[in-house]
Amino acid sequence: MAKYSTGGAGSSASDSCELCGAENVDLQTASVAGATLSVCSECAQHDETPSRGSDDGDDGSDRKRQAAQNAARMQDAAQADASHWEDGADYDDDQLPYLVGDYGEVLVEARQDAGLQTAELAEAVGADESDVLAVEQGRATQANVGGSLIGALEAELDVRLVDGE
């Protein structure tokens, strides 16, 4: 029942040539019509890879390499800026709504009721602990806390921090 293992686990295809379907042949990689296929030696002769084809291949890996570099760069930036919660993105649109007068106390109480530390609450809402502390200390405006954090805290603890509505 089980196909016999080729030992080359991971290759999705079986041992058959992707062009002519010949089975149990020595497969080699060939570039055909822009696609990289595993083909038998017969079909490999139809390989369309003169020097231009290999240019295509190089492009692909360059692009991949560049993508990896970009990702690494973004990660560096994120780490360098990890001190600030979600800098960028919709920060400008993230207006702090008008909050209830004792929002700090409301939050502290709700957090304690939930049995959470500020760090745990911050993690739960994906925010910086310093921002959560700022809200608890009634410094949301000064600390430039965004409305989305307030909303997340409200949702997390099922409390009301925004005034009105």
Residues in contact with Zn ion by the rule CB under 5 A = 17, 19-20, 22, 39-40, 42-43
Nearer to Zn ion, 11 or 117 (CB): 11
Helix (H) or strand (E) holding 60: helix 51-80
Q: Quote the CA–CA distance of 130 and 143 in Å, as a whole number.
A: 9
Amino acid at 10: G
Nearer to Zn ion, 17 or 140 (CB): 17
Both structure tokens of 110? 């709700």
Q: Which residues contact 79 (CB under 8 A, 6 or more apart)?
A: none
Q: Quote the CA–CA distance of 67 and 73 in Å, as a whole number.
A: 10
CB of 44 to Zn ion, least distance (A): 8
Nearer to Zn ion, 22 or 116 (CB): 22
- Which residue carries 């084809």 as its tokens? 53
Residue 138 CB-density burial (10 A; 0-12 exposed, 13-18 middle, 19+ buried): middle
CB of 42 to Zn ion, least distance (A): 5
CB of 60 to Zn ion, least distance (A): 24
- Which residue carries 């809200």 as its tokens? 135
CB of 25 to Zn ion, least distance (A): 7
CB of 31 to Zn ion, least distance (A): 14
Nearer to Zn ion, 40 or 149 (CB): 40
Nearer to Zn ion, 47 or 129 (CB): 47
Both structure tokens of 15? 């041992």
Amino acid at 60: G
